Amino acid sequence: MMLYFIGLGLNDEKDISVKGLEAVKKCDVLYLEHYTSILSCQKEALEAFYNKKIILAPRSTVEQEAEKTILKDAQSNNVGFLVVGDPFCATTHLDLYMRAKQLGIKCEVIHNASVISAVGMTGLQVYKFGKTTSIPFHHENVETPYDVMKDNQKLGLHTLFLLDIDPAENKHMTVQEAIHYLLNVAKKKGDTTFTESTLCVGCAQLGSDKQVIKAGPASQLLKTSFSNPPQCFIVPGKLHFMEEEALGL
Give tens-digit pLDDT for 151-172: 999 999 999 999 999 988 889 9
Instruction: Provide the pLDDT for residue 170.
Output: 87
pLDDT at 99 > cutoff 80: yes
Instruction: Provide the pLDDT for residue 89.
Output: 86
Q: Where in the chain is the domain with CATH 3.40.1010.10?
A: 3-113
Report d(CA 204, CA 169) in Å as an integer. Answer: 19
Report d(CA 117, CA 46) in Å as an integer. Answer: 23
pLDDT band at 92 (very low <50, low <70, confident <90, very high): confident
Instruction: Provide the pLDDT for residue 226.
Output: 86
Instruction: Provide the pLDDT for residue 183.
Output: 97
pLDDT at 91 > cutoff 90: no
| % of the chain surpassing 90 pLDDT | 91
Q: Where in the chain is the domain with CATH 3.30.950.10?
A: 116-246
pLDDT band at 68 (very low <50, low <70, confident <90, very high): very high
**H-assigned helices in the chain:** 18-26, 43-50, 59-63, 70-74, 91-102, 115-118, 144-154, 175-189, 218-221, 241-246
Instruction: Provide the pLDDT for residue 139.
Output: 87
| % of the chain surpassing 70 pLDDT | 100
CA 167, 99, 6, 211 torsion: positive or negative?
A: positive
pLDDT band at 140 (very low <50, low <70, confident <90, very high): confident
Residue pair 88/65 in contact (Cβ under 8 Å)? The answer is no
* Topology, domain 3-113: Cobalt-precorrin-4 Transmethylase; domain 1 (3.40.1010)
pLDDT band at 248 (very low <50, low <70, confident <90, very high): confident
Instruction: Provide the pLDDT for residue 85.
Output: 95
pLDDT band at 127 (very low <50, low <70, confident <90, very high): very high
Report d(CA 72, CA 50) in Å as an integer. Answer: 23
Residue pair 163/192 in contact (Cβ under 8 Å)? The answer is no
Residue pair 160/119 in contact (Cβ under 8 Å)? The answer is yes
* Mean model confidence pLDDT for the chain: 95
Instruction: Provide the pLDDT for residue 228.
Output: 85
pLDDT at 249 > cutoff 90: no
Superfamily of chain region 116-246: Tetrapyrrole methylase, C-terminal domain (3.30.950.10)
CA dist 58 → 104, 108, 128 (Å):
24, 21, 33
pLDDT at 227 > cutoff 80: no
